[in-house]
């Protein structure tokens, strides 16, 4: 898994900092985006192996990002969605997510989810 490219999309700067530090220490290459529009712009020069996506963000939320991302030419990276813990059960994701993590999440759970999502890609 080390060396895989991650696109982290979350409007919460503290989450971006913690996840970026953790994943960088684990050998991932992380690119951050504060919202879906910034992330779409980054895709012009950055091809992620996996996308970590918060759904509720200003400017462009995760649903709209996913819709526009899926409209781009393939291949598409798997998406791991972040959802507030209270709404995991009732949340209608409406997007193609490889995994869903409830916020707040344990960093080891994030690493495990990445391992599951990336293993078919890297083998």
Indicate the domain borders of the chain: 5-118
Q: What whole-number distance in Å separates Cα of residue 69 and Cα of residue 93?
A: 15
Q: What is the pLDDT of residues 60-96, one digit of tens each?
A: 998 899 999 999 998 999 999 987 765 545 455 677 8
Q: What whole-number distance in Å separates Cα of residue 64 and Cα of residue 114?
A: 23
Domain 5-118 is of which CATH architecture? 3-Layer(aba) Sandwich (3.40)
For the cut 80, the answer to whether the pLDDT of residue 43 exceeds it is: yes
Specify the pTM: 0.89
């Amino acid at each position: 898994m080390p060396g895989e490219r991650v696109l982290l999309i979350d409007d919460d700067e503290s989450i971006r900092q913690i996840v970026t530090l953790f994943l960088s220490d684990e050998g991932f290459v992380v690119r951050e985006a504060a919202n879906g529009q910034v992330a779409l712009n980054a895709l012009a020069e950055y091809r992620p192996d996996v996308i970590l996506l918060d759904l509720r963000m200003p400017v462009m939320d995760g649903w709209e990002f996913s819709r526009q991302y899926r409209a781009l030419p393939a291949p598409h990276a798997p998406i791991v969605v972040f959802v507030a813990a209270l709404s995991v059960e009732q949340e209608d994701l409406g997007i193609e997510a490889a995994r869903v993590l409830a916020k707040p999440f344990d960093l080891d759970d994030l690493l495990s989810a990445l391992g599951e999502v990336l293993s078919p890609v890297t083998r």
